[in-house]
Amino acid sequence: MSEHDKDIDQPTGVETTGHEWDGIKELNNPLPRWWLYIWYATIAFSIGYMVVMPAIPALPGMGTNTRGLAGQSDRMAVAEQVESLRTQRSASGAALLTASLEEIETDRELQQFAMASGESAFGDNCATCHGAGGRGAKGYPTLADDAWLWSGTLEGIQYTLQHGIRHEEDPETRFSLMPAFGRDRLLERQQIDDVVNHVLSLSGREVDEAASSRGADIFAAQCASCHGEDGAGDRTFGAPNLTDDIWVFGSEYRDVYNSVYDARNAHMPAWGERLDEATIKSLAVYVHSLGGGE
């Protein structure tokens, strides 16, 4: 716009941009100087950053971004941190191998390492069945209640982890076998019903008293050799306590009936085939802590 064509806003005396909307004209005021200075500074900073730091992307086939004068590399920094952590863990892992479980429990630093390592290993290998924090699920024992089928000591838990339960490939696995009283026709359906009523009565459930009375005799003949005459269980056989109202496969009549009829001989892998000794020890310490330990 030439000098003689300039449009001046009469009230303010400021030149306009020539744009007008519904009689409202846009004034051609300059940008504030402080704003311009900040803008210029950001441009200068950006140029300096690209020179000093790795910022300019490389073209395809030319490798990574430019290194920059500072030689900074987040990838190298992370690699160094990972290597440092691996060295620390290697030293702690070596200490776990030589320390007994009791020594791990009394050495605070080693115990903390074992707990952290065990919790991580539990999440990767055990939580799928036993749940986060060992809360368990139907068909999978709760590990946080200090009620154990086999042994709840540190050594006992380590043995179970090492050799598994009913893991046929391991000759030292924990093994027991509950008969399928219905499927194998060891008992009639009425007899199973009587036994179930008796088993439920052991934990204080309301049952058919007559059926429970008949079931007591059958229980003594067929079940007491493993579960005990009072139903308190026997960890030698992994026979659960039937008096504490803690149930792995469900506490309803139908759940217990199915257990007696078809048996529940679950399997746990022998983790000694997949995990190293230090990880097994860490898992034992972690699992032992979930329920307070024995």
pLDDT at 75: 77
In the annotated binding site for heme c, the residues are: 126, 129-130, 178, 223, 226-227, 268
The confidence score (pLDDT) of residue 25 equals: 86
Q: Using the CB atoms, write b or e for 133-144: b if 16+ within 10 Å.
A: ebebeeebbbbb
Residue 210 has pLDDT above 90, yes or no: yes
Question: In this structure, is residue 43 part of a structural domain?
Answer: yes
In a 3-state reduction of DSSP, which class is residue 225? helix
User: What is residue 119's predicted lDDT score, i.e. its pLDDT?
Assistant: 92
Residue 166 lies in a domain: no
Query: In the prediction, which pLDDT does 291 show?
Result: 77
- The region of weakest confidence among 68-82, 143-157, 177-191 is 68-82
Q: Quote the pLDDT of residue 87.
A: 73
The b-or-e profile of 247-260 (16+ CB within 10 A means b, else e) is bbbeeeeeebbbbb
Could you read off the pLDDT of 46-93 as tens digits, one per residue? 999 888 888 777 777 666 677 778 777 777 888 888 887 777 666 667
Q: What is the mean pLDDT of residues 227-236?
A: 92
175, pLDDT greater than 60: yes
**Residue 288 scores a pLDDT above 80:** yes
What pairs with residue 24 in β-bridges? Answer: 21
Residue of higher predicted confidence among 93 and 108:
108
- Binding-site annotation, residues: 126, 129-130, 178, 223, 226-227, 268
Rounded to the nearest integer, the mean pLDDT of the chain is 87
| Single-letter residue type at 107 | D
Q: Is residue 47 part of a domain?
A: yes
How much is the pTM? 0.68
DSSP 68: -
Residue 180 lies in a domain: no
Q: Is residue 294 part of a domain?
A: no
Plot region of 22 (φ>0 → left; ψ -120 to 50 → alpha; else → beta) = left
Tens of pLDDT, residues 7-37: 887 788 888 888 888 888 888 888 899 999 9
Residue 141: inside a domain: no
Q: Which of 85-89, 109-113, 167-171, 216-220 has the lowest mean pLDDT?
A: 85-89
Structure tokens at 24: 């409202």
* Domain housing 39: 3-52
Alpha helices, DSSP H, located in the chain: 33-52, 74-98, 101-106, 108-125, 127-130, 154-163, 189-202, 209-222, 224-227, 253-262, 277-290
Q: What is the pLDDT of residues 213-231, one digit of tens each?
A: 999 999 999 999 999 999 9
**Total count of domains within the chain:** 1
* Inter-residue contact 150 to 226 (CB < 8 Å): no
Q: Is residue 20 one of the residues assigned to a domain?
A: yes
